[in-house]
Amino acid sequence: MALAACYECGGQVSTAAVGCPHCGAPQATQRVGTPVRTTELTSKRLKLHQLLSSLVLIVGLIWSISDYASARDPTLDVQPSATPYAVLGVALVWWIATKFRIWWHHE
């Protein structure tokens, strides 16, 4: 366990420490030879695509279920719409493509 200088205040910090005991600045926790986790390798843009595609997928699923239920109700004179199913299909393809892109860009 060696000591290194804090980049923020210049105080002595252990290389095993998570933060500086003097100023609280976070220290680099990535050590040479330790593997990088997949979440650290995923770009923010791909994480945003994954989040948005998941949200649209959930909305499309809820919309499709409610459209199907209202079309099956005999007391309502409602024709089923193709729009919620199209949204669900596009969201599913977007989600799968994003998962594939995340897999493709990692080693």
User: How sure is the predictor about 38, in pLDDT bands with cuts at 50, 70 and 90?
Assistant: low
Element (H, E) at 102: helix 83-104
Angstrom distance (rounded) from CA 101 to CA 45: 11
Model pTM score: 0.56
- Going from N- to C-terminal start, the domains of the chain cover 1-34, 38-104
Provide DSSP, 7-58: TTT--EEETT-SB-TTT--B-----TTPPPPHHHHS-HHHHHHHHHHHHHHH
User: How confident is the prediction for the chain on average, in pLDDT?
Assistant: 83
Q: Is the CB of residue 13 less than 8 Å from the CB of residue 29? A: no
Q: What is the mean pLDDT of residues 17-23?
A: 84
User: How sure is the predictor about 62, in pLDDT bands with cuts at 50, 70 and 90?
Assistant: very high
Q: Which two tokens stand for residue 38?
A: 């997949």
- Please tell me the predicted confidence (pLDDT) of residue 61: 94
